[in-house]
Structure 1
Amino acid sequence: DIDGELREQLRSKERHAKREQEAVEKKLNEQVEVIARAGSLVWINYMRFARRTDGIKSARALFSKARKATNCTYHVYVADALMEYHNSKDATIAGKVFSLGQKSFADHPDFVCQYLDFLIQMNDDNNTRALFERTLATMPAEKAGPIWLKFLDYENKYGDLASVQSVEKRRIEAMANPNVSIMESFLKRQSYLDICTIEEQELGYAARRRLQQEQTETKETVQEQPTPAPPAAPPVQTSKEHQKRPLLEPVHPEKYPRPDLSQWQPFKPAARPANASPLITTIVPGPPVDTPPQPPSPPAPTVPIQPQWTTSLPDAVAYFVSNLPPAQTFNGPIIPPGEIVELLRTIIIPLPPQRPSVKPPPREMPRNFGRPAPPPSNPARPQGFKGGRPPNQMPMRATGAGKPNAKRIGPNRPPDFDLFRQRQAKRHRDDPPF
């Protein structure tokens, strides 16, 4: 059996859990809305690119995909409809796109206002008034404020007096807002764009705005004033102290936060050679611990603080790192260095294509390669000489300037000092001429 007090506690817990659930849902819906708007912007830019490169048909194909995407906003429909109207010069297709978007965004005032602007630009009075009536009949009153203002402005510009008065009366009844009055509707009817002469000059709008600004400044000044402290006994001051004035205004702790001096680390630079490369040192301070005061001890020798880890970098890298801002100012995504190094170590970079090697053509071999020279028909009296050498001239040895086959190659090459050939040459010189 649950008594009344316990039942009330359970109800209180349920209400608290429900409020927390609503807060979480609201926060998540806001995040989803931001992502959806960004995705719609991507689709719109993709459609524009396709229209510029491939034509309007490619943009239509992308629109058919975009409107089926999850969390597609009304911006995609408006962009495609206006693209069809201005590029295809076909208002019928643009109207069909707006009608298709109305099925999903009929309760969205921004989409309805865009649709109304299109119909007003097309001078389609019947469809414009029908859209006004259909939207105001189904849209909740808390969302229909912009639609009522646009309807009233449309009747003021293009309608008769009876229609204007009817819309004013209906707007006041539908809004049920005490701030909405006939005077406000009258001022909107008697103004155009940013010309509001009656409101500014005749009704004292400028004076009211100035008064509101003064009241706002007074409230801010009162809020900034600190709470007066209890009066204390004034200290005895000399005549010189009475003449001094504070040069700076007192700092309010609740307005200007002060640094936590307990977390500061004393700076004690360690001596190192002048030509050494700079060291990148990182020290992670621990939480401050309140220690009781201790009696003063004799001064100990100064010992440089040893960092937790110290890395020596090359000169070029150290100079680059010294120009970087502090690590505490970085608020972007943190990339794990281990994974990047592993990726660079294991990545396979394709080599550039190699050209096929061009081999030189084979050299032509001499005709008598590997063949013995034919013996002369008559060693005593040769029949003739080739190469233009006179009979009484000794053949050149291993110079290659005499006969083409003077320097032979192969196994049948004669030795450099051939006694038989020398005797034959001497015999030719001793023979009498014919």
Structure 2
Amino acid sequence: FERILSPNNSITKQSQPAIWHEFLRFESQVGDLPSIKKVEKRRLALHVELNELEGRETLLLVDRYKFLNLLPCSNDELKLLGYKDVSNINLSSTSTSLLTNGSVVNGTALLEQAAKDRRAILPRPDIKHLMPFRPTRNPLPGSHSTSGGVFPLPDTALYLVKVLPPSRNFEGPFVIIDELMERVARLNIPD
């Protein structure tokens, strides 16, 4: 964005507001507060220079407090203010083309390329290690059944399950859990 909006570039001032809007949106998503304020100040200076600020102060505030698709007020209030989201407007209709170093470049193509570059940087999850969801009605003994499906037991727990006798052979006595927990709580364990 900085290279596109630099003073030595041959982009006309009338075609820059849409690019400044995208630049501000980008900084709002990934930038810090000082960089956002710097971009807002430069965009405001452009609007003052183009005499487009009359009646737009409120609309610039809506842009400032907007994040992704969350808006600071309802759609009806936005319509009453005359707010039109710049991202919904086709940039090629507002500025037919942008001149860069003597060659004609479409503004939307530049913005789409910037979006692709941002997506390439974002981390992606490694789905190779995800276990597929396979719920079973009757889990096998020795398997660890959870609400997400059946998963193998950890090695130490699997060893313990193999060493213990099967549950069908156990006839008692049954442990009263509340009394056991009470005795464990009263137990004085030395350091």
TM norm. shorter chain > 0.5: no
Give the alignment's TM-score, normalised by structure 2. 0.33
Structure index of larger Rg: 1
Question: Could you say which structure has the higher strand fraction?
Answer: 2
